[in-house]
Amino acid sequence: MLEPEYPAVNIEEHRREFPGLAQKVYLNYGGQGMLPQAALEAIVDTYNYLEINGPFSIKSNSWLTKRASLLRQDLARELQVEPKTLTLTESVTAGCNIVLWGIPWQSGDRILLGDCEHPSVVAIVEELARRFDLAIDYARLKSTLNQGNAIEAIKESLKPRTKLVVVSHILWNTGQLLPIAEIVELCHRYPNGSIKVLIDAAQSFGLLPLNLSELGVDYYAFTGHKWLCGPAGVGGLYISPDAFLSLKPTFLGWRAIQDDGENQEISLKIDGQRFEVGTSAYPQYEGLRATLATHRQWKNTQDRYRDICQLSQQLWQNLSNIPNIECLQQQQPKTGLVCFRVKSKLTHSQIVANLEERGCFLRTLKDSDCIRACVHYFTLPSELETLVTYLQELIEPE
């Protein structure tokens, strides 16, 4: 299908596809996105279809198998990879668990973590380290937000026994976009043997135009419910063909098993489905497909990303002009995440709670001690102005 060159409707009309956008300024896409109406309808339609045809029938089961395969195709197109390289999961954390527990670790192996990784990922790595006697190193990425070089920060933390590097494509607590292709190249050419790279794509999928084949990553764990605005509970994991064979499934179930007709012996599928386990909430799959279609009807991923950057730069500029606000990034943001600190008698939590009462949804972050606004391509400039006005009122009451 060709991407339309120009949208047929204006942004106000397109926003009506997302009923939740009405009457509020929603800026929490890094937490969870707004579902389009089409997704809600697709979910209900699917439940109806299953009830009418029997939720477990030859017809329904074969229909669901086809639908799951269509979702893999749609996601593969979004990521510029082959559908067989994808595993459908329920979240970023589920995808990271598949990779982290699936690597054949040996005592003394090392994992290099970025110092801005999500507690979900840190928790897995710490448990792994205890279980398999591994060492954890931390790359000092946070301090490279405004100066220094993220690639150098990774390079200086690699050690002869480093087996895996785990970093996010976009850092959730600062908004920094990491140069993943260069990081992957560095790791794959490490003189002591190629180091694999797992990317946490919680903040990048649905925000950045992606070509995973070009990025060269080994594993890319993503979710549909944040920037993509799909239903909660459907995500995915990309495993590169080179990394596939050495990864062992930790959890297994019927979805991983090859259907060999009369053959009684169990053999595992030879594609990403090997890491899928059991029954899922399949109607959500249809919800995610409908979400993808809603975005595509508007603009392609490059254009959507360009719009996100324009809007987040507008917000960053306007916030930077307020004397008691300090944006964490000193240069214009290259993502939709704008993190800032407010000097005020109010705490960040009080400010966010106050904004929410007025219909403006942001979040605080403990680690960078800041407030985070997530700007999407369909955010209106007027909504950003509203946020800035509210903040000014809170900081400088009349």
378-392: buried (b, 16+ CB within 10 Å) or exposed (e) per residue?
bbeeebbebbbebbe
Smallest separation, CB 12 to ligand PLP (Å): 29
Is 172 or 298 the residue whose CB approaches ligand PLP more closely? Answer: 172
* Smallest distance, ligand PLP to C-beta of residue 202, A: 3
Q: Which of 170/342 has CB closer to ligand PLP?
A: 170
Minimum distance of ligand PLP from residue 58's CB (angstroms):
33
**Across the chain, which distance is largest between two alpha carbons, in Å?**
79
Binding ligand PLP by CB under 6 A: which of 46, 91, 162, 335?
91
Task: Map tokens 């995500």 to a residue.
Answer: 235
* Interatomic CA distance for residues 335 and 338, integer angstroms: 8
The number of residues that bind ligand PLP (CB under 6 A) is 14
Closest CA to 355 of 47, 27, 126: 27
Least distance from ligand PLP to the Cβ atom of residue 218, Å:
17
Contact 27, 375 (CB under 8 A): yes
The tokens describing 317, both together, are: 């500029």
Helices (H) then strands (E): counts for the chain: 13, 13
The letter for the amino acid at 140 is R
Measured from the CB atom, is 225 or 299 closer to ligand PLP?
A: 225
Judged by CB under 6 A, the residue of 46, 87, 168, 379 near ligand PLP is 168
Using the rule CB under 6 A, give the single segment among 140-148, 198-206, 269-277, 302-310 that binds ligand PLP. Answer: 198-206
Closest CA to 94 of 289, 291, 276, 284: 276
Reduced to 3 states, what is the DSSP secondary structure of residue 365? strand
**Region binding ligand PLP by CB under 6 A among candidate stretches 11-19, 88-96, 352-360, 378-386:** 88-96
Q: Does 203 bind ligand PLP (CB under 6 A)?
A: yes
User: Hey, which residues between 231 and 260 contact ligand PLP (CB under 6 A)?
Assistant: 235
The amino acid occupying position 208 is L
Among 93, 144, 174, 329, binds ligand PLP (CB under 6 A): 93
Part of the chain binding ligand PLP (CB under 6 A), chosen from 103-111, 196-204, 205-213, 315-323: 196-204
Mapped onto helix, strand or coil, the DSSP state of residue 194 is coil
Of 122-161, binders to ligand PLP (CB under 6 A) are none
Answer positive or negative: Cα dihedral of 11, 16, 17, 20: positive
Which residues, 6+ apart, have CB-to-CB distance to 70 below 8 Å?
A: 289
Amino acid at 111: I
Looking at beta carbons only, is 50 or 288 nearer to ligand PLP?
Answer: 288
Antiparallel, parallel or unpaired: β 135-139 and 337-342 = unpaired
Alpha helices per DSSP H over 8-91: 11-15, 37-53, 58-79
| Choices 89-97, 158-166, 178-186, 364-372 (CB under 6 A): range interacting with ligand PLP | 89-97
Among 61, 80, 120, 350, binds ligand PLP (CB under 6 A): 120
- Minimum CB–partner distance for residue 192 and ligand PLP (Å): 28
Candidate list 64, 71, 79, 92; residue touching ligand PLP; CB under 6 A? 92
The verdict on 172 binding ligand PLP (CB under 6 A) reads yes
- Binding range to ligand PLP, per CB under 6 A, among 42-50, 86-94, 346-354, 358-366: 86-94
Smallest distance, Å, CB 75 to ligand PLP? 15
Contact flag: residue 85 with ligand PLP (CB under 6 A): no
- Would you count residue 377 as binding ligand PLP (CB under 6 A)? no
User: Which two three-digit tokens encode residue 202?
Assistant: 């919680």
Contact 128, 111 (CB under 8 A): yes
Tell how strand 135-139 and strand 370-374 pair up.
unpaired
Q: Are strands 86-89 and 235-239 parallel, antiparallel or unpaired?
A: antiparallel
Kindly give the pairing relationship between strand 360-361 and strand 110-114.
Answer: unpaired
Near ligand PLP by CB under 6 A: residue from 78, 109, 115, 200: 200
Q: Of residues 9-38, which lie at the interface with ligand PLP (CB under 6 A)?
A: 30-31
Is residue 202 within the footprint of ligand PLP (CB under 6 A)? yes
Tokens standing for 128?
């792994």
For ligand PLP, the binding residues (CB under 6 A) are 30-31, 91-93, 118, 120, 168, 172, 200, 202-203, 223, 235
